[in-house]
Structure 1
């Protein structure tokens, strides 16, 4: 095949795949095979090979380009919210997200844990399971694939599931655009995308974005991000493709303090958050990131080889509770050597396998005291002399050095999965991952923040702590999908995945064990021309689950729970209403209980074991549902309205009190497209509900609230060329 023809074929295949992934899962007649002409969405995340979601024995949600284009996309939450079994919120509306899938990730006070997050096949999740979104350009996303629970071949050390963010392809040279947006609370959005086919073999893509907001309804809540990316695509005479990306991101974000119950009531009546009594008024994260990724794909007959190499270097200034983290630079080196082999084993089969290696190296990361603080004299009981107790921070300027740390986190992984098709209707997946993770940490501490006295303590001599811990995780999976007819299929799967503690958790509790989640799941999937349905029932048993205990004074400590049982039901559906309307309905029922859990409650310097067995896990509601209505008219008018409900949940593991959650939190998009011009108006929290994104109660009974954003509108204009 000559290069010109090959280029046209590749471009055509990309176009088709984007159309398929962007089409709603439309509907068919009720007679199944007779004229139903089903349309399915393609996914690559669960099995590392492109397959229709109907053929994958797992619960998968795909957020397509049409849905993404209908959102503001200041935060990945804009696209993911409403997905059954997935809970996502943001304290800032910038790049921060707290993400929970089927209960995994709720131990994190900030960010994402226990969930593997990938961008174009490159893990954004550190070996200790922390995921960063600061270098993701949310304006350059083609689709998002969510695989829930254990079982993904990408999911090293992550029990909650896998999220893959797929950016726009360098070979798609028809999507050039400039986008400008302005909104309330100082929101700004500027994005450009320019691609060019240099010749029959070479394509380039340049993207840039600026996003910012003052979030003036509350104090200390600004964010500002800049991103620039250059991609290059090369098609070789051998039929191979080589895609390379180099990007730079600068991301600054302020994280507001929490509210007391009375302060939350003030917010509910005024819509503003001012002069709170939070001790830590100036948390935030300010980072810069260089990111490099190159991936090669070559077919040798029935064998396809897909090696990938990546490097990123990031630094951050990160004021948090009790200290200011100042990391001058972490270097991340990684490779993923993957192959796919088509052969015959009880029918057409594919063997996917490979190895993964990664090193995260940090030198001379430091923790500092807050330099500017308001204090009162506190006289502790007993012989301890009076101290200057911190009432609140006055700035995020760093003061005296508390500690210095060098760390190396390494990951080596092996994955293998055989997919066999004994008949046209039956597909079986059998595979596993094995991952070895090592944490080598050395810390020299000169002082610390004392949670009991709420003050800084300086040691008489430096204290050196060394941690060298290795975890071996084995994650097998067996799943099968059976097509009942051209419309319906059923699936069943059993999968297991381990979950390692984070670096900070290991340092605070060296006895922590890796958690082990075992999931049994069955489901039904239907794809037709004018409707689609996904239904799943699962039962997940987690042994040694790593849980967070919120002690008195807002101190989080971590321990293993003996056993947790998570049972759930998820439903996702979409149906055409006439020619131009699409109705979507999603629902998740979650029943998560501690089977065996002795919570260690701190009273002064004493830890007391309190039995929480039989209690519900906090924060995750029993009921979560979402309704949406899309309108798309050939004249160019389009609209989307979505209402999300987050049911009531317990505030603590003791199950002493519930928060009501929120009902029908509504977002609206109105748009018009004519030729290269497109205008859209996005309104979040349309009815200006005053709600909390999270309510927690510590072991002494003190409640803290995180306020949700009031109504906010943004106007966007896009010119495509």
Structure 2
């Protein structure tokens, strides 16, 4: 028997707050920016028929600034979960897309300074993005994310600040519970013809859970200079994360008995992951009268080694790939785009067109994770293949102010994604697994915006999207035979949304959006046994819901922010799923109307911030309703609500600015499940969130 799910009451609190303070007014304005996620120049994002949010990463933030999830809580429709496990990336989903991912990021497009962090097959990661050097994070949700191609359930872009005259240099140190330490330095400014933003960070922690020690070193740099009338930028990134321990998930009983424990096999096999990445990008941009252009090229290398807790017995099969995964990836790409701003029929027109090509070449190896009786070591070779995935895409987009109050944004993208695998591990019991597959799609999208008043806009948008399987999902056939799962189809979606945006000049904002996404050939787990997952297309699904974002200045130095999401993610075509551990052939019905796992029905966030002079005080509430953890909905993680507190004090001195800050997470010391591992084959679905955590930091800035 499962306990009844906890219910999130924060939306009720938000409604009460709305009725209490709706009439309050105070002069406050947010900075303006050209939101690059929509690729429309010189047009206020408020006027676009799309759901766009910008999070500003200012110097007043508290916390370690070690993961992007720290900055994404206040965006409706976005679920970013810190797994308390740095061997695995942040769990990121947008409007329910990507929620099934057990590792990395899929279903969502991620870019850092315009360079893709999502590979052509749709698999992405966030670990190399730096909050220390970032200026803002842009999130695009809904139909227009399809203009970014494969795996675009949403788009997340991280932008570094451009160095300017008088920018401060800063040193930041943050220490917290569990021997957590983050030390960062940022150099930003202008030296001769070059503007620069260089951010380096060292992060280490013993981890809240047992066997979760981790360390990360990162360097991010953005260097720019004028070339005549044009601009040239160099983007550099480096990440080293050696031997991050993986505590694995827990069963419900284990999580209830001791949420800080690691699974016994995590110690037995010393489960861990090492990742190292280095990449560089070059951007050349300029304008010629009404024309503009931008050329981007990038290349990088990423190495990953991961030790899994797979027992020797399943590895006895000649088709098994072993318990140690090795990935050595070289990747790169080119993006060229042209834009023009002018008039059509006497009304403003902005057109953007472009082409981009990306490629990843990956040497994938598998080894046994034992030698004799010794476990958790690299043993015999069991897999050796070279995979290539590439795409060539073309896109066009136009924005037209076709009347005084009406505007149109429309576009289309054609994508061609090619997979090829060459098997170099061929034995009598393991035949040649080489193969290739090509996916193609054209994804049109259009939306209109209507200006009711200068402060109030209504919009509607519709479009199509598609998502190919990743190489990890193509890796094994669902029937257990040798070879790749080349019979998998790409998922195709139809997306619509309608919305209202109200932005007052005094800083008050209220955005409300209703959305629906219907998907055919949804990708889902077919079986999860012997340490490997297989996938298949299950038919039709639907994600629909509502989003609310509200900002309210309450007084001169007092601000309130509220975000709420209601999301119904359901199966629309019944199918069979595995009903127990070790199942290799689906045998249990999942009825139409069943919930998709990994997606809470409701999320809410509220932040009240008071900044009297040099002081800063803030209280946050984050809440989530229950989350189903498997296709059969036999288990679920209960809902929760957490209180976080912040305080800070700044001093302006002759030599620079000093700021001291503190943060307490989960101040009421609640027990909760912070993230889930969907459809885990061993029933270890739960990754508990931490109890009360505290941190103290100091930041020194000088010019």
2:501 is matched with which residue? 525
8 Å contact from structure 1 (residues 141, 165) kept in 2: yes
SS at match of 1:505: helix
What's 1:141 paired with? 134
The equivalent position to 2:616 in structure 1, one of 624, 634, 638, is 638
Q: 1:280 and 1:82 mapped to 2: Cα distance?
A: 39
Q: Distance in 2 between matches of 1:114 and 1:73?
A: 25
Could you tell me whether the CA contact under 8 Å between 1:257 and 1:276 is conserved in 2? no
CA gap of 1:227–1:657, structure 2 versus 1, over 3 A, is closer
Correspondence 1:656 to 2:656: no
Mapping of residues 109-124 of structure 1, within 5 Å: 109-124=102-117
Q: Give runs of aligned pairs for residues 542-581 of structure 1, distance below 5 A.
A: 542-549=519-526, 551=528, 556-581=533-558
CA contact (8 A) 1:564 1:594 kept: yes
Aligned residue for 2:489, secondary structure, equals coil
Distance 1:699 1:688, change over 3 A: closer
Name the residue aligned to 2:94. Answer: 101
Q: Return the offset for 1:601.
A: 2.8
Matched length = 652
| Match in the other structure for 2:223 | 232
Q: CA deviation at 1:697?
A: 7.8
- Aligned counterpart, 1:439: 419
For residue 174 of structure 1, report the CA deviation from its aligned partner.
0.4
Q: Distance in 1 between matches of 2:566 and 2:59?
A: 24
1:284–1:278 Cα change, 3 Å? closer
Give the whole-Å Cα distance in 2 for the aligned partners of 1:123 and 1:173: 31
- Aligned equivalent of 1:167: 160
Contact 1:561 1:598 in 2 (8 A): yes
Alignment of 1:3-18 (within 5 A): none
Correspondence for 1:306 among 286, 294, 299: 294
Query: Relative to structure 2, which stretch is displaced further, 408-417 or 74-83?
Result: 74-83
Answer yes or no: is the 8 Å Cα contact 1:564–1:596 preserved in 2: yes
Question: Which residues in structure 2 correspond to 1:324-339 (within 5 Å)?
Answer: 324-327=323-326, 329-339=328-338
Aligned to 1:340: 339
> Higher mean Cα deviation, 416-425 or 246-255?
246-255
What is the alpha-carbon distance in structure 1 between the residues aligned to residue 195 and residue 303 of structure 2? 31
1:298 and 1:305 in contact (8 A); partners too: yes
Instruction: Judge conservation of contact 1:534–1:571 (CA < 8 Å) in 2.
Output: yes
Q: For 2:84, which of 84, 92, 108 is the aligned residue?
A: 92
What is the match of residue 288 of structure 1? 276
Over residues 55-83 of structure 1, what are the superposed CA-to-partner deviations in whole Å (9 max), with x where a residue is unaligned?
12111221112498244311111111242
Alignment match, 2:515: 538
Contact 2:145 2:153 in 1 (8 A): no
Q: Does 1:678 align with 2:659?
A: yes
TM superposition shift of 1:177: 0.8
Q: Match for residue 13 of structure 1?
A: none
2:670 pairs, out of 681, 689, 703, with 689
Separation (CA, whole Å) in 2 of partners of 1:604 and 1:566: 28
Q: Is the 8 A contact 1:60 1:145 kept in 2?
A: yes
Aligned counterparts of 1:173 and 1:324: Cα–Cα separation in 2: 53
Structure 2 vs 1, CA of residues 373 and 435 (structure 1 numbering), >3 Å: closer, same or farther? farther
Name the structure where strand makes up a greater proportion of residues: 1
Structure 2 residue 615 is matched with structure 1 residue 647: no
Q: Does 1:181 align with 2:160?
A: no
Change (3 A) 1:305 1:606: closer
Q: Whole-Å Cα distance in 2 between the matches of residues 174 and 578 of structure 1?
A: 30
1:673–1:372 CA distance, 2 compared to 1 (3 A): farther
Task: Check if 1:76 corresponds to 2:68.
Answer: yes
1:500 to 428, 443, 468: 468
- Per the normalisation by structure 2, the TM-score is 0.87
Match for residue 622 of structure 1?
601
Structure of higher RCO (CA pairs closer than 8 Å, 6+ residues apart): 2
Label 1:682 to 1:394 Cα distance change in 2 as closer, same or farther (>3 A). Answer: farther
Equivalent pair of 1:444/1:463 in contact (CA under 8 Å)? no
Query: Does structure 1 residue 319 correspond to structure 2 residue 310?
Result: no
1:412 correspondence with 2:386 = no
Q: Matches of 2:693 and 2:32 in 1, distance apart?
A: 35
- Alpha-carbon contact 1:48-1:153 (below 8 Å) kept: no
C-alpha displacement at 1:284, in angstroms? 3.0
Cα distance change, pair 68–480 in 1 and its aligned pair in 2 (3 A):
farther
Greater mean deviation of Cα atoms: 352-361 or 127-136: 127-136
Secondary structure at 2:258 match in 1: helix
Q: 1:333-412 to 2 correspondence within 5 Å? A: 333-346=332-345, 347-363=347-363, 365-371=364-370, 394-395=375-376, 397-412=377-392
Paired with 2:554 and 2:371, the residues of 1 have a C-alpha distance of 60
5+ residue gaps, structure 2, are 1-20, 311-321, 477-484
Partners of 1:697 and 1:36 in 2: CA distance? 43
SS at 1:264 equivalent: helix
Deviation string 1:592-641 (CA, Å, 9 cap, x unpaired) is 2111131243775544362422212122122111111111122x101222
CA contact (8 A) 2:675 2:687 kept: yes
Query: Could you report, residue by residue, the CA deviation over 1:327-379 in whole angstroms, capped at 9, with x for unpaired residues?
Result: 4632112111011101211411000110001111124x3111112687xxxxx
Q: What is the alpha-carbon distance in structure 2 between the residues aligned to residue 192 and residue 585 of structure 1?
A: 32
Provide the C-alpha distance between the structure 2 equivalents of 1:683 and 1:566, rounded to a whole number of angstroms: 34
Distance 1:597 1:306 in 2: 47
Are 2:446 and 1:478 aligned? Answer: yes
Q: Describe the SS at the equivalent of 1:138.
A: coil
Q: Distance in 2 between matches of 1:373 and 1:84?
A: 51
**Could you tell me how far apart the structure 2 residues matched to 1:512 and 1:609 are?**
21
2:559 maps to which of 571, 582, 595: 582
Aligned CA distance change for structure 1 residues 192 and 66 (closer, same or farther; 3 Å): closer
Q: What is the aligned partner in structure 2 of residue 384 from structure 1?
A: none
d(CA) in 2 for partners of 1:209, 1:173: 22
TM-align CA RMSD: 2.8
- Are the counterparts in 2 of residues 325 and 368 from structure 1 also a CA contact under 8 Å? yes
The yes-or-no answer on 1:259 pairing with 2:240 is no
Instruction: Decide whether the 8 Å contact of 1:619 with 1:649 is kept in 2.
Output: yes
1:514 matched to which residue of 2?
A: 490
2:106 aligns to what SS in structure 1? coil
The DSSP-based 3-state class of the residue aligned with 2:486 is coil
TM-score with structure 1 length normalisation? Answer: 0.85
Residues 697 and 703, structure 1, Cα contact 8 Å, conserved in 2:
no
Q: Relative to structure 1, is the Cα distance of residues 293 and 700 closer, same or farther in structure 2, using a 3 angstrom cutoff?
A: closer
